[in-house]
């Protein structure tokens, strides 16, 4: 029998993908915990709360209804697509119709679909860094070329129109925009969102705007939707969103993309041959979430804000660590540049990757190295975990580094 040679077993396209670093850190922490070690995990980007009760009850009811035991249209339950269009108007002020909505397996599939539909081989996608770790892989899976644009704390990790313009080439097809941002926790002010949107519209560049953290903003920071503050871009804009972060529903796998009709129809065709519809019961749960009130969301937001303040002040007190106060989402993204090169317990980490390994080994605390987000020297810590663990975990880091 002929054997497939090692080189050909996995396609080049897929072999080039790296494992999601955030999921890998989380998995390592969970494995250490399962082995009896006392590990605190700041890796996972998911709320620690259970899904609110009224949403779970709607799912239980859907489970018992044989209607839910069957396929829905690939693009999603019609009533859910309508609810998403209405919720979008309610929450961000963006007007769209139900046939501009495609229900996807989490926001992640919306990102994947978006790039599959708009990119041809060699198309460049401007990607402000630090970026969510999935974007470059998703772009590459569509044969696109991610063009990372570095930002630092000096500009609060916000990209400028000048930077975008300097990176624009004849191959530039799209821009990724994410505010509130994973991993930096930064929220762009409305005038900057508008300027970026106008720039994209002027140059005929697609914008894939990720609004998954829209409800999680702190202090005076407010979310603004790019196609609302820059309406000219609406015809070349894809909005990504989902229930995962807002309603503590990461496991239910419901997200969506909103875009011009031709793009959404193309993405529905793609999805009809890949995953088909999102689980019917999960769609019923999402419908309850989006049509219900936002009381539980407000409560969770307030808890995240309080935890973010605690984590920020504890991190900022560690010598050599600098940290912007989180403005949204649920992450601190401190710079550890002042710690690198120092000898700690006999080791001298020179990169954030090495430092994070040391922190895991010596302090038994899992944090995600900045390299995963295109930003060496930093690390991401999620504050979507219980207060006691949060304080204990950051105290351990402080004890190790001080």
Ligand X SMILES: Cc1ncc(COP(=O)(O)O)c(C=O)c1O
Sites of contact with ligand X (CB under 6 A): 45, 106-108, 132, 178, 182, 210, 212, 242, 244, 250, 255
Tokens 């139900």 sit at which residue?
98
Q: Which is nearer to ligand X, 135 or 314 (CB)?
A: 135
Tokens 């129109």 sit at which residue?
161
Q: Which is nearer to ligand X, 226 or 363 (CB)?
A: 226
Q: Which is nearer to ligand X, 368 or 401 (CB)?
A: 368
Q: Which is nearer to ligand X, 132 or 157 (CB)?
A: 132
Query: Rounded CA gap, 389 and 42, in Å?
Result: 9
CA angle 192, 136, 238 (to 5 degrees): 50
Shortest gap between Cβ of 107 and ligand X (angstroms)?
Answer: 3
Q: What interhelical angle do 261-272 and 106-118 show, nearest 10? A: 110
Q: What are the distances in angstroms from CA 257 to CA 80, 81, 203, 239, 251?
A: 13, 10, 23, 6, 18
Shortest gap between Cβ of 134 and ligand X (angstroms)?
Answer: 7
Shortest gap between Cβ of 62 and ligand X (angstroms)?
Answer: 19
Neighbours of 273 (CB within 10 A): 8
Q: What are the distances in angstroms from CA 250 to CA 47, 50, 247, 254?
A: 8, 10, 8, 8
Cross-strand partners of 146: 125
Strands 124-129 and 172-178: parallel
Task: Select from 189, 169, 172 the least CA-distant residue to 180.
Answer: 189
Shortest gap between Cβ of 163 and ligand X (angstroms)?
Answer: 20
Shortest gap between Cβ of 60 and ligand X (angstroms)?
Answer: 22
Q: Which is nearer to ligand X, 382 or 400 (CB)?
A: 382
Shortest gap between Cβ of 190 and ligand X (angstroms)?
Answer: 19
Query: Rounded CA gap, 182 and 372, in Å?
Result: 12
Cis peptide before 80 (omega within 30 of 0): no
Shortest gap between Cβ of 152 and ligand X (angstroms)?
Answer: 20
Query: Rounded CA gap, 25 and 45, in Å?
Result: 11
> Do the Cβ atoms of 349 and 362 come closer than 8 Å?
no
Query: Rounded CA gap, 35 and 250, in Å?
Result: 25
- In the complex, which residue's CB is closest to ligand X? 106
351 backbone φψ class: left, alpha, beta (φ>0; ψ -120 to 50): beta
Tokens 């529905």 sit at which residue?
268
Q: Which is nearer to ligand X, 135 or 363 (CB)?
A: 135
Shortest gap between Cβ of 3 and ligand X (angstroms)?
Answer: 37
Q: Which is nearer to ligand X, 205 or 212 (CB)?
A: 212
Task: Select from 283, 255, 281 the least CA-distant residue to 105.
Answer: 255
Shortest gap between Cβ of 111 and ligand X (angstroms)?
Answer: 6
Three-class secondary structure of residue 49 per DSSP: coil
Q: Which is nearer to ligand X, 68 or 138 (CB)?
A: 138
Q: Which is nearer to ligand X, 180 or 334 (CB)?
A: 180
Q: Which is nearer to ligand X, 82 or 250 (CB)?
A: 250
Shortest gap between Cβ of 210 and ligand X (angstroms)?
Answer: 5
């Amino acid at each position: 029998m002929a054997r497939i040679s090692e080189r050909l077993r996995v396609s080049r396209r897929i072999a080039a993908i790296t494992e999601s670093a955030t999921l890998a850190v989380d998995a390592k922490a969970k494995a250490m915990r399962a082995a009896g070690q006392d590990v605190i995990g700041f890796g996972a980007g998911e709320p620690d709360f259970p899904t609110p009760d009224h949403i779970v009850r709607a799912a239980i009811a859907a489970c018992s209804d044989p209607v839910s035991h069957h396929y829905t249209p690939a693009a999603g339950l019609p009533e859910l697509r309508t609810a998403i269009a209405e919720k979008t108007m309610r929450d961000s002020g963006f007007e769209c119709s139900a046939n501009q909505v495609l229900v996807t397996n989490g926001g992640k599939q919306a990102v994947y679909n978006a790039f599959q539909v708009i990119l041809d081989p060699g198309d460049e996608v401007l990607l402000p860094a630090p970026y969510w770790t999935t974007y470059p892989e998703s772009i590459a899976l569509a044969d696109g070329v991610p063009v990372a644009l570095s930002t630092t704390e000096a500009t609060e990790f916000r990209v400028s129109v000048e930077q975008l313009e300097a990176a624009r080439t004849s191959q530039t097809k799209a821009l990724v925009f994410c505010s509130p941002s994973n991993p930096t926790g930064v929220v762009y002010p409305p005038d900057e969102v508008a300027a970026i949107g106008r720039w994209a519209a002027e140059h005929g560049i697609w914008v894939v705007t990720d609004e998954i953290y829209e409800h999680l903003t702190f202090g005076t920071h407010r979310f603004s939707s790019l196609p609302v503050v820059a309406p000219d871009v609406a015809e070349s804009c894809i909005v990504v969103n989902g229930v995962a972060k807002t309603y503590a529903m990461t496991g239910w796998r419901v997200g969506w993309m909103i875009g011009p009709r031709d793009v959404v129809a193309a993405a529905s065709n793609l999805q009809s041959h890949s995953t088909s519809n999102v689980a019917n019961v999960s769609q019923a749960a999402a419908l309850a979430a989006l049509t219900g009130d936002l009381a539980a969301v407000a409560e969770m937001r307030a808890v995240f804000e309080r935890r973010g303040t605690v984590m920020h002040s504890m991190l900022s007190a560690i010598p050599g660590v600098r940290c912007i106060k989180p403005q949204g989402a649920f992450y601190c993204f401190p710079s550890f540049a002042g710690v690198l090169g120092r000898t700690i317990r006999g080791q001298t980490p020179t990169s954030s990757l090495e430092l994070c390994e040391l922190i895991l080994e010596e302090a038994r605390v899992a944090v995600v190295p900045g390299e995963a987000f295109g930003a060496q020297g930093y690390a991401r810590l999620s504050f979507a975990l219980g207060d006691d663990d949060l304080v204990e975990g950051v105290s351990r880091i402080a004890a190790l580094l001080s």
